[in-house]
Amino acid sequence: MGDMMATMSILVVGNPEVDFLYEHRKGDLLYQLDTVIIKAELGDVPINAPEAIRFIHEHLRGDF
């Protein structure tokens, strides 16, 4: 599958108007990236702003 963390980061940052839902399973665990939830947590901060990108990377690092 390649580097999904980098792939998802590029997709989200490059397409801030698109909502993404990415899920994968590892054993019994479900990992999820939902930009609707992330955008709600960020509030007025654009999802492609530097602080939002750091937030996304931290979120992805914890899941992958």
Q: How many domains does the chain have?
A: 1
pLDDT at 3 over 60: yes
pLDDT of 59: 77
Using only C-alpha atoms, the chain has a radius of gyration, in whole angstroms, of 11
pLDDT of 61: 76
For residue 34, what are the β-bridge partners?
Answer: 21
Task: Encode pLDDT of 19-53 as tens digits.
Answer: 999 998 889 988 888 999 999 999 999 999 999 88
pLDDT of 4: 82
Q: Report pTM.
A: 0.78
Domain that holds residue 26: 4-63
List Cα–Cα distances, 57 to 3, 26, 27, in angstroms: 13, 19, 23
pLDDT of 62: 67
